[in-house]
Structure 1
Amino acid sequence: MQIDFQGSGLQGARPPPDADRQRMMWINADRVLYLGLLGEPTVRCFGGFSVYLSLRGTHRICVDGGDWQDCAVSVVPPYVRHRIVSGERMICNLLVEAETVDVAALPAHLRAGRGAVDAPAALQRMREALDILRRADNRRYASTAAFDEAFFGAPLRTRALDARVQAVLDRIKSDPNGHVSAQECAVAAHLSVSRFLHLFKAETGSPFRSFRTWQRARSLLYYVTQSSNLTDIALDAGYPDSTHFSHSIRQVYGLTPKSIFAGSRKLALYASGAGVPRLGYH
């Protein structure tokens, strides 16, 4: 385990009595771990591999309009619409950004998962990693590799990308609220727009516009503990107005921004790396 405990001595300790009420999120540019309220989302659609983990019982998931499935752990591929209902008040959701991993080398339950997965060893590992994290004083992983080691047993192999596409990804992820266009990226890559868009999708598996939309919506997670006016947050996050902001966020998360912020009031947020706005975090 490569999380920095800073001498906390809590790795083998019993969880505190209020452990089930400890809501938290750890986020960097490549991964997200959310432990908190699910709410009542409608259809949602994330741009990364999404792993849902029930803390003790089960949840129900419906992927791309298919049948509802009951399970303790489920996986949804990137950009696939789904619905989820939890049998518990809180749930754990892990997000792995698709462009950061070699899909063919992913663990089987991630690579082939589409809804409920039967992976008891993976379930046990993830629950144990989550338990250690919840009992730690310093809830930060030193790196993406350290996070992967804890929850997946080893660092996930990175995807080898064309240098021109990698430069675009780095640019967008370092400033997800910016308004970089395909035209600008094509010029920087010395390609025509059509050739750039084709190359981007071939390399990342995602259309350029979908990736940019997801990164902007994902950046909202850095703001959820802030008390600012939602209109101001919409502008800070790169949306032209509050109406567009509300519609776009609901399309991704299945919840309105108001509901997301209401459910995050007691959330402890730990953010690091590229793309973090200059806000006051733990």
Structure 2
Amino acid sequence: MRPGHIGYVGPDLGVDRHAPAVAMLSVGLDAPLELHTGAHGVIRTRSSFAPARTPHRIVATAGWILALFVEPAGIPAIADEMNRTAGPFGLHHRRERELIRLCAAERPDPDRIYRLAITGEARPADPRIEAVANAIRAHPARTFRADRVAAGLGLSTTHFLRLFAEQYGTTFRGYQRWVRMSRTIRDAITGTDLTRSAIDAGFATPSHFSETFRDLIGLPATTMLRAGIRFDLGE
């Protein structure tokens, strides 16, 4: 887990259909994946990209996978690195082989994997939007209303929401959900009770957190936390 991205290398955890609030890159490390979509059916590919809020399901045909969730603020979209498309989905990352090689290391380096997945020159970031995103990350439990934030920036609500979606690749509300979910998991794996972590991060109830996690990740949070995963917080 890092500011701006969360990655997983390991066996398929049996996720259901889900729609992450940020972009997602998936790579089959030992064999092709099955990308289960709605309109485009099941696509067999070694790597796939799904934009934020795009419902899909990844199934490993064999072996391990890489799942990388990325906030695209200030960097080229992963979509630019895919060789083919199927509707909103990208297929066959240009550096597929190198990603597989890095993930095969005894202790994969999360930062090297991330840098390889995202290449190219950074896009200029709007400092107003970046400041809002920083505030959301610093205060996940706070409720940020789009109309009030927009007024504080001297923008219309519609214009602010469009700028935020363009820079962060997801909706203003969706980004707040993602930050709260990420903070909850981070606190839980550092020793805080999961229920306490969810409430501290701004969820109204533990069930609200559970529903959000399943919607964004595709499985119960308790399943992930009990899967024996070694977490690397970069600290």
* TM-score, normalised by the number of residues in structure 1: 0.70
Other-structure match for 2:183: 219
Q: Which residue does 1:75 correspond to in 2?
A: 49
How many equivalent residue pairs? Answer: 235
Distance 1:114 1:125 in 2: 24
Unpaired runs of 5+ in structure 1? 1-26, 273-281
Alpha-carbon distance change, 232 to 35 in structure 1, aligned in 2, over 3 angstroms: same
**Percent identical residues:** 21
Residue 217 of structure 2 corresponds to: 253
**Compared with structure 1, are the counterparts of its residues 198 and 33 closer, same or farther at alpha carbon in structure 2 (3 Å cutoff)?**
closer
Look up the match of 2:20. Answer: 46
Q: Deviations along 1:17-38, whole A, 9 cap, x unmatched?
A: xxxxxxxxxx212222211343
Q: Deviations over 1:114-137 (max 9, x none)?
A: 557245x522110112234x346x
1:152-171 mapped onto 2 (5 Å cutoff): 152=117, 155-171=119-135
1:79-228 mapped onto 2 (5 Å cutoff): 79-88=53-62, 90-103=64-77, 106-109=80-83, 114-115=88-89, 117-119=91-93, 122-132=95-105, 134-135=106-107, 139=109, 141=111, 147-149=113-115, 151-152=116-117, 155-223=119-187, 225-226=189-190, 228=192
Provide the C-alpha distance between the structure 1 equivalents of 2:207 and 2:149, rounded to a whole number of angstroms. 28
Matched position secondary structure for 2:25: strand
CA RMSD of aligned residues (A): 3.0
The 8 Å contact of residues 23 and 50 in structure 2, kept in 1 or not, is answered as yes
- What CA distance in whole angstroms lies between the structure 1 residues aligned with 2:204 and 2:59? 32
Residue 109 of structure 1 deviates from its aligned partner by 3.8
Structure 2: tracts of 5 or more residues without a match: none
Partners of 2:9 and 2:78 lie apart in 1 by 28
SS in 2 for 1:99: coil
Give 1:197's aligned amino acid.
L
Distance 2:78 2:211 in 1: 34
How far did 1:239 drift? 0.5
Aligned AA (2:154)? H
> Do the aligned residues in 1 keep the contact of 2:34 with 2:58 (CA within 8 Å)?
yes
Structure with higher RCO (Cα < 8 A, 6+ apart): 1
How far off is 1:107 after superposition? 2.0
Amino acid at match of 1:100: G
Contact 2:85-2:91 at 8 Å conserved across structures: no
SS of corresponding position for 1:102:
coil
Which residue identity is paired with 2:230? A
Please, what TM-score do these two structures have when normalized by structure 2?
0.82
Q: Which residue of 2 aligns with 1:59?
A: 33
Match of 2:233 in 1: 271
